[in-house]
Structure 1
């Protein structure tokens, strides 16, 4: 017992004038109180039969909020269980992509540690609040119960990666860094080639609508038809300091 060891140590130190008499008395009292508590608990449980609690189904033990010797109040929790079939998955998406995802959307996912063994899940909901830890919107999905999927193989806390099957979108794919916000409205700066009237290349602001953003690529649509076409050069450096009609300098790609 820890308290018995503590008392023995205090007595040893006291004999060598390395501990005070009060420290020895306190250790003796702590041991006495602990022994009295054990006797009380033994007396209370002496007439109680041993009970075995059996789970109604196979489940995962999530938490154990009690310890050996704890006094549990009536109705208190001994274990927190989670049925494997009730496991939910959490994925993160960019906030601007939330409108593209609806309940029932399919997600193909797998563990980041497994090269194969992809499974399917369906979106249950998209949270309406940014996750402060990831700065993304959480998508909650339920694993598919089809024969090809195996919810029983999932382990709570496993890191997953998923691919969400989104409806087809049409637009122009541009580097994400080319899209800037002007008073909250997205736009890109198209480079107008120099001409007789403009001896230097100029930046033309083109308001756009962001359709989809995935990492370094963003799918956009110009608000004015024909204002931006495939092959147009865009500003991707120093764009936050630009204004419509400002001269720009072309730098070869490194």
Structure 2
């Protein structure tokens, strides 16, 4: 009986020992798991991506279209100087290519004697017709002339006055007459020589409005047909010379007309520009290239390297105050060299990523390439 009690007690002690061991093991495992979890929580964050940034800018930017051409007046910009009567060229005061201002003497002419005689006769005819009208009117008042005779006298006086007005308008006069430039321009061509007899209406010289003070074309350009639809009257044109001496010179003007067909020889679309050439080195005949600023507008101006393209369109990354990359969708409106003009919800206070953006995803941490967070 006593031995049985000792055996039972040993069994109880063994069971308590096993239970205590289980509790200890469970506590140890729980403590180990908590330590592992704490260690996991205290592990370092994912490294920030090194990037380079710039500040976004907003301003005017245009899509350039390249054109080639020549400083040459269109037919609408050329004026032919002539006389409405026969005359002899006494003296030539200008030469081809010369720049002239309004009122500059061009040539001295002497009217043909027959033209001078016709002008003198027109004056005499007016005096005679007016005297005859006065005499007929007096006779009519006395009942000695008919209504028909008075009407004929009045018609003769009117015809004489009109003939004299036409002679005066032609400017026929005895002696030498100086023909002057009607506007600022350039002498394109002389059609006469000193001593020539010039018929009425025949060309003496051609003058072009080379100063570009009006809105007629004085530069003829050609653009690719694919670019012609972008060019419109009023677009800014910047001329550059093709020669080495003019390559660094530039002068601005405006597009005044855009052709609606392709030139069969050049296979380009003609564009006419008005440029204030003035006393510049771009004289008639100068071959030039030109940049036409099309689709001009105020947009975000960003480097090409800042813009990425994906399935949903173009986008950029900006860096917020927490040094996190934020993806912003943009629409590319113009391309100008190494810059884009884009529209989008950019933040002017946040830096724009231009290098390292291929590694970024929305929300990733970033730092400047020098090591300091940006």
TM-score (norm 1): 0.42
Q: Which of the two has greater strand per residue?
A: 2
TM-score, with structure 2 as normaliser? 0.29
Q: Which has the larger radius of gyration?
A: 2
Would you tell me which structure has more helix in proportion to its own residues? 2
- Higher relative contact order (Cα pairs below 8 Å, separated by 6+ residues): 2
